[in-house]
Structure 1
Amino acid sequence: MIRRSQSFLSQFYALTDFVCVQIVFLFSWWLKFKSGWIPYENSLPIETYALWSLVYGGTAIFLSYFFNFYTPKRKKRFSFELFIIVQVYCISLLILLSILFIFKELNISRSYLLLYLVNNILLISFYRYILKISLKRLRQKGYNKQFLLILGAGTLGKKFYTNLMQHPELGYEVIGFLDDFQKNHEFGFENYKPIIGKVDDLESIINELLIDEVIIALPLHAHKKYGRIINICEKAGVKTLIIPDFYDYLPSKPFFDNFAGIPLINVRDIPLDEFRNRFIKRAFDIIFSLIAIIITSPLLILIAISIKITSPGEIIFKQERVGLNRRHFMMYKFRSMRIQTEETSDKQWTTRDDPRKTKFGSFLRKTSLDELPQFFNVLFGHMSVVGPRPERPFFVEQFKEEIPKYMIKHHIRPGITGWAQSNGFRGDTSIEERIKYDIFYIENWSFLFDIKIIWKTIINGFVNKNAY
């Protein structure tokens, strides 16, 4: 029954999205060609635009299914949905432009397409937000609820119940607990729903009460009961979820993988492990770094000449760093220090009044202009525009012994800027705090998160008190 209703809702969402796209088509066409507010020269017949609107709508619906946009998202925030909406409708437009090019339909107004894209994102986001808020209020009033039964009234079960009660907007109601050892007077049931039976009573209770999901919160030594519990639930069409007794060792978003036909718990879910996300990030890195190199090329030449004039030695300073999957690479920077031995440069930390810096080098480091050549590292695939900052091998060996989870940063490409750096953690600042920010970025990566970090880096300025 639940699956059928979810399938109906998915189809309803898809149909509504398609209708919204066509409404946006009519509105955008009127706004561009009939309102008189936007100047234009010639217009193709409305039938031509209508045809391509149907193609665009179909593409968007297909991509929405591909991105799992129509699966239930009771536990997801609206910001997650907004990110998917922007992705789906931007990619759909790129596909539409490709199709137009193939069919040599070159007279479609590009300004109209931009207007069409923006209006689609705005309307779909607005109606989805209204729908999400409406469903949330209905659940708070007792409608559209999901009923849960918790197996295990120990620490796991109690903690899950307490956390769940802090989020009434999710629309879940706990029927009670099943436990083989505790009784209500020992359990302190005045603070919780009561214990309504033992684990062996599960089948009869499911048949008597309306239960949508069963939460297994049993200790590890009770794992032999899991098979019978799951069989009973599946026979009754009830969803089963398991809280592992070792959840303290898992991240906030554990991920199940499959290796050699065996399901595995991935204790570090990294969005960039997915090919789709890696492709998007890499494509953006290449485009962004090419644009950055082209725009700053006069500045690059000027800095190179200035370095050559003000101090003897090479213009570009190359230093070994540790990058993706602990692989070493040579990172490029404009030389900001006097010529020194490799031993000194690789094992000595830069200080505020470091005597090794040249006068022009101090300016470069303070303004972060010495890092401009790293856009070539991005092009070569050593680095990304956004990511954890790479460190020298000597310090990596030191920090991995001293700082828990330090090596997690090497699961993705290092970056020119990052979440830690955009929040002021540069230079002689806490390595522990940097790693916390880096891990948060790694576990919560999204394309919009990268844009936010780049924007924050630009807004905060490249001059930083900790850059020296």
Structure 2
Amino acid sequence: MIRGKERFLTRLYMGVDFIFIQVAFLMAWFIRFNVLKEEDMGAYLPLTSYFTWNIVYSVIYILIAFLVRLYVSKRRMKFASEVSRIFQAHIFSMFALLSVLFTVKTIDISRLYLVLYFVLCVMLSVIYRFAVKQSLRKMRTKGFNKQFVLILGAGSIGKRYMQNLLNHPEYGLEVLGFLDDYQGENNSKIKVLGKLSDLNKILEEKIVDEVVVALPLTAYPKYQQIITTCEKAGIRVSIVPDFYDILPANPHFEQFGDLPIINTRDIPLDEFVNRILKRLFDIVFSLTAIIFTSPVLVIIAIGVKLTSPGPILFKQERVGLNRRTFMMYKFRSMKHMTEAASNTQWTVQNDPRRTKFGTFIRKTSLDELPQFFNVLKGDMSVVGPRPERPYFVDQFKEEIPKYMIKHQVRPGITGWAQVCGLRGDTSIKDRIDHDIYYLENWTLLFDVKIVVKTVINGFINKNAY
């Protein structure tokens, strides 16, 4: 049984993290200086120096892991969020180590070793934490490591909360029963233990790990006494607001002076650290893409120039981050036309404006390649909601209530909606639903997943006209 030892397990993660960093150090050292060794190795530092800097990195990592809340309880945390925090902790630790090395003018450390060391640290951390998380989930599903929940309110809110727990046995949360002043009868699913006034008695008689308040707003005057009673007993309290059904998927609290404020939509990219990580990913990925596709870029440019008169690049105004407009680049795939016509006309099947070569590059999405330069400029991201023209934005925002939410992040070359098949002539509402899901559930791993799915699915777009 692990129940009651969650704090010990959380602290144990620190020690295991330290051990796995040492394993990564030994593996990186062996690969670099035994497998990939060079003839003249005299310029590099000895093993003892590498080990010293490895210890420095280990300490920095554990401190930063605390700052990014990697050692908090993860029972209900998505593994993707945990992976994102692991990556954040390692990348900032590596930057800190490089800063220290630069400050003390240590220049003889192998750069290949540092790359291997970083990659192995991240890989080992993710692998062992995934193994631990899966093991704990299996144990909880079988009834081990349980935590017991008492729900206050047997109405629709309380019943829905209980149903969520039943749908996720891997969380290891079991409902002891309900307290409710107006639900006097038990049934096979709802076990009412008493009234709200019996709370103190129930907490003394039964093992309760968490009290969930699922009461209507009319019971608000009772909240203070409920919280006081639970805190006096040392029991954690959670509140399901009566207006939860009108809130978006991920609201969160913010502090304004001494007032707590509910932010109706939690967007991970509002956090500075996440924005920096995404921007670094964008810069590295787009530079790499431009370098590797440069021969293709030249060939397409020649093809556009030879097959129709006019400029090689097509520049069009689009709406981006915070509703600011920018000029998006594409290879021209249509006959040269006035700006007013290109900004207000929707492309249709068998569009007479297309050139033969343009039809090919649109179908294969090769016309989108210049947008990597938009990414470098900061107008776009590699992954994000697709940007639209101002003319259609003004139209869609009146027809689709949540349409403008997507402009809270940079638009992307590819996105969650696109890899799910919502490209070209498809439902705008469905696209927005997918874009909002991406906004609220962003992680760096999610971006990588979308890029991989984009490559696997191929670049052929049957809806591209």
Aligned to 1:364: 361
Contact map agreement 2:80 2:445 (CA 8 A) in 1: no
1:131 has 2:126 as partner: no
**Equivalence map 1:165-314=2 (5 Å):** 165-184=166-185, 188-192=186-190, 194-314=191-311
1:336 has 2:337 as partner: no
**Equivalence map 1:373-392=2 (5 Å):** 373-392=370-389
Structure with larger RCO (C-alpha < 8 A, sep 6+): 2
**CA spacing shift, 1:165–1:460, aligned 2, 3 Å:** closer
Contact map agreement 1:20 1:124 (CA 8 A) in 2: yes
Distance in structure 1 (CA, Å) of the matches to 2:285 and 2:131: 35
Distance in structure 1 (CA, Å) of the matches to 2:232 and 2:301: 72
**CA spacing shift, 1:289–1:125, aligned 2, 3 Å:** closer
Aligned to 1:52: 53
1:17 has 2:17 as partner: yes
Distance in structure 1 (CA, Å) of the matches to 2:208 and 2:272: 38
Q: CA deviation at 1:128?
A: 2.5
Unaligned runs of 5+ in 1: none
Aligned to 1:78: 79
Q: CA deviation at 1:140?
A: 4.2
Distance in structure 1 (CA, Å) of the matches to 2:295 and 2:243: 56
State the Cα deviation string for residues 218-261 of structure 1 (Å, max 9, x = none): 01111111111112112222111111112112233322222344
Percent sequence identity is 57
Contact map agreement 2:139 2:145 (CA 8 A) in 1: yes
Distance in structure 1 (CA, Å) of the matches to 2:26 and 2:354: 63
Distance in structure 2 (CA, Å) of the matches to 1:83 and 1:397: 35
Contact map agreement 2:83 2:445 (CA 8 A) in 1: no
State the Cα deviation string for residues 9-50 of structure 1 (Å, max 9, x = none): 4332212211332244345445555xx555444364321121
Local SS of the residue matching 1:190: coil
Contact map agreement 1:424 1:466 (CA 8 A) in 2: no
**CA spacing shift, 1:125–1:376, aligned 2, 3 Å:** closer
Distance in structure 1 (CA, Å) of the matches to 2:342 and 2:250: 39
| More moved, 344-353 vs 128-137 | 128-137
Letter in 1 for 2:216: P
| More moved, 61-70 vs 422-431 | 422-431
Distance in structure 1 (CA, Å) of the matches to 2:296 and 2:139: 58
Aligned to 2:402: 405
What TM-score, normalized to structure 1? 0.90
Task: Give the alignment's Cα RMSD to 1 decimal.
Answer: 2.5
**CA spacing shift, 1:439–1:30, aligned 2, 3 Å:** same
Q: CA deviation at 1:105?
A: 2.8
**CA spacing shift, 1:28–1:332, aligned 2, 3 Å:** closer
Would you say how many aligned residue pairs link Structure 1 and Structure 2? 460
Distance in structure 2 (CA, Å) of the matches to 1:412 and 1:31: 40
Q: CA deviation at 1:397?
A: 1.9
Aligned to 1:103: 104
Local SS of the residue matching 2:188: helix
Q: CA deviation at 1:389?
A: 0.8
Pairing partner for 1:429 from 426, 433, 451: 426
Distance in structure 2 (CA, Å) of the matches to 1:256 and 1:243: 13
Aligned to 2:314: 317
Distance in structure 2 (CA, Å) of the matches to 1:233 and 1:257: 24
Letter in 2 for 1:285: D
**CA spacing shift, 1:122–1:448, aligned 2, 3 Å:** closer
Aligned to 2:437: 440
Local SS of the residue matching 1:279: helix
What TM-score, normalized to structure 2? 0.90
Aligned to 1:326: 323
